[in-house]
Chain A
């Protein structure tokens, strides 16, 4: 053999690529199912699925994994038919394809573990072969107007995709990119342009067009990107290294066959009215544009602070600021209204966020052989898109834990007198105008405190709050054996990091042996601009989000409870009596090593359901603040979530008092008395 080829050399690369394609396929199949629920096809996701499976099939053939070749081939046949029917797939087909992905995944993992690879399951191949792909697509009511040579290169599904996108109110555009050696040297090529455009648009098709070579097009080539987007021409032109003038709108026109023959064709006015009517009420806006609006609003909020300060300074000099003061107050109200309007535009229904949960539970239920019912009550709650994106992985993690760890196998449930089918409930409601409460509940076995403590090598936690502290320790897993769906070293610390550390929210736990567990996530509805209290401590001003503070109380020396004196590296912990409850109290001045001027007030926060108080010198007031994250790891400190500008031009630290109380509590446990 003359070549240096040895298939086993490529096994590691094969496993990585196979996992990537499986992951992309799962995402695409979920997208198909989500579209199906809305009664729509998703031709793009079907095409991507087909491509991934085709690649898996080719690679598997090269490394000689015939069972995967067989499964991928059977799935590919289904998807090819679906592609010809403009992406039409039925619910049973989605089910069978999900089984196929799972079967391939199991074999890839077996290969990875050097275990024997099972043959393709005949019942799966039969089920895939027996699928009937739905009807051919309905004829579109509009058709695309494009130069004939370009139109000829588009498939019916691609034409339909452009027409449907345009009908849904998105802009259908042609953006040209002309490659050249100079641009390639700068790293601007069709791959980078495609990636940049893809970040702001849905690319339907990229067509290469040849032309006579010239200075402008030395390669005699231009790529025409046909896209659907809400982005501005300037942004697109920047991404494609072209000018806005080079961007062309793609036109559609009503097809002759669209109107039933027996009816009169609609008049121009009716036609317009119908189109406008369909579009009315929904405008899709790129999140980047909303971020931009928020950024500009942030500048207005800071300007308001500066105006207020200037008016105060004039008043202090004895100037009559009556009318000016009224104008500034009115301006403040307008900025607040504008903030409300922009924030509302950023909100997404939580029900949409939780759309994928039933499928996730179904997949887990099958993987673990535990029948599990899922109940979701998202009500009318809405959440900032940025918060939704950050919190979703934590929700998925809690659901995985519930099905995999908490819910008992059916035989065990029967023995315990429980229904064989387990239950996972996801509920949420807006707890205030600034916070959303999300609960994930299961009716499983509850968390075994002793086992968790044993595993962590720590004392047995005395209550649910201490148990939560224990199970959110980085790297801890409470399951003795890694399972198929979880237990791969990713623990509850991920949930805590998302909800508490990244979003400044709270996480709490309620568990009862044999009866089940509820995790409650309290997250802010929005981030960036929040209502906050500003207060003075030592000589320094701080702010903390209103949502995190339960109460502001007076510290009455007589109300302090004498008890065992506890010192931590954050200073002395005292105890305060509040409505019959003992609350730990720490002076913020000592936490930040500031000179104390006497701390007669206290901010009470609640962590894992238990209160904790921070003594401060004086509350300045309540106002909107724009939180700027602290990116540099050198200035990232526990308890400080960002900085803000209160209009005096100096940065003011935004405190995360819940995280700070958590750090102090951990520290307290570690110091000797």
Chain B
């Protein structure tokens, strides 16, 4: 199974993301409703990919990315940022902090699926090398 962590404080948004990705039968989803919850889950269990919102209570997506990239074992974990912040500054900051891909809401269902597939392929290729 490919374990995907979906992080967004909006339950409806998490469900929308899962609805876009669930066509892949071997995807398993874990929800996190905050950045803190995401970090805790990442510390306790391995994941293959993270779909991450930026705007969350207590600790935002930028801080989650910085934390992930600060951990040796999570250096290559693919992170797809899906955010309402469509500005260039946010994109640059997220990618600069270590996000693998950046998408804005509203997103097209096919686009998010294609992004996730390509990130997982790239990751698999990287780990084969």
Binding site for B on A (CB under 8 A): 1-7, 9-10, 13-14, 16-17, 48, 51, 54-55, 57-59, 61-62, 64, 153, 179-181, 184, 189-191, 194, 203, 205-208, 210, 218-221, 223
Contacts and interface: CB of A to CB of B under 8 A. Distances in A.
B67 A208 contact: yes
B43 A221 contact: yes
B84 A61 contact: yes
30 contacts: A3-B20, A3-B22, A3-B113, A4-B23, A5-B20, A5-B109, A10-B12, A10-B19, A14-B12, A17-B11, A51-B9, A51-B57, A54-B85, A55-B9, A55-B13, A55-B55, A58-B53, A58-B105, A59-B10, A62-B16, A190-B39, A191-B33, A194-B58, A208-B36, A208-B63, A208-B67, A210-B70, A219-B43, A221-B40, A223-B36
B21 to A, nearest CB: 8
B44 A62 contact: no
Interface string B12-29: 110110011111000000
Interface of B: 9-13, 15-16, 19-23, 33-34, 36-37, 39-40, 43-44, 53, 55-59, 63, 67, 70-71, 83-85, 105-107, 109-110, 113
Contacts of A221: 39-40, 43
Given A64-B106, A205-B58, A189 B20 contact: no
Contacts of B43: 179, 219-221
A4 B110 contact: no
A13 B12 contact: yes
Contacts of B34: 191
A7 B57 CA distance: 25
Contacts of A48: 57
Contacts of A184: 40, 44
B46 to A, nearest CB: 12
A6 B63 CA distance: 31
Contacts of B85: 54
B125 to A, nearest CB: 23
Contacts of A4: 19-20, 22-23
Most buried by A among B20, B22, B40, B107: B40
A180 B84 CA distance: 33
Contacts of A62: 13, 16, 105-107
Nearest to A54: B55
Contact of A5 (B19, B40, B55, B58): B19
Contacts of A223: 36, 40
Given A2-B23, A5-B109, A9-B19, A153 B63 contact: yes
A211 to B, nearest CB: 10
A214 B8 CA distance: 30
Contact of B10 (A7, A55, A219, A220): A55
Nearest to A64: B106
B55 to A, nearest CB: 5
Contacts of A189: 37, 40
A507 B33 CA distance: 44
A59 B84 CA distance: 9
Contact of B113 (A2, A51, A208, A220): A2
Contacts of B70: 210
Nearest to B105: A58
Q: Which 9 A-B pairs have the closest CB atoms?
A: A219-B43, A58-B84, A5-B109, A3-B109, A13-B12, A221-B43, A61-B106, A58-B105, A5-B19
Contacts of A58: 10, 13, 53, 55, 83-84, 105
Given A3-B109, A58-B53, A220-B71, 15 more contacts: A1-B109, A3-B20, A5-B19, A54-B55, A58-B13, A64-B106, A179-B40, A184-B40, A189-B37, A190-B40, A205-B58, A205-B59, A207-B59, A221-B43, A223-B40
A4 B105 CA distance: 18
A218 B43 CA distance: 8
A48 B15 CA distance: 23
Given A17-B11, A58-B105, A153-B63, A5 B39 contact: no
B119 to A, nearest CB: 16
A61 B55 CA distance: 15
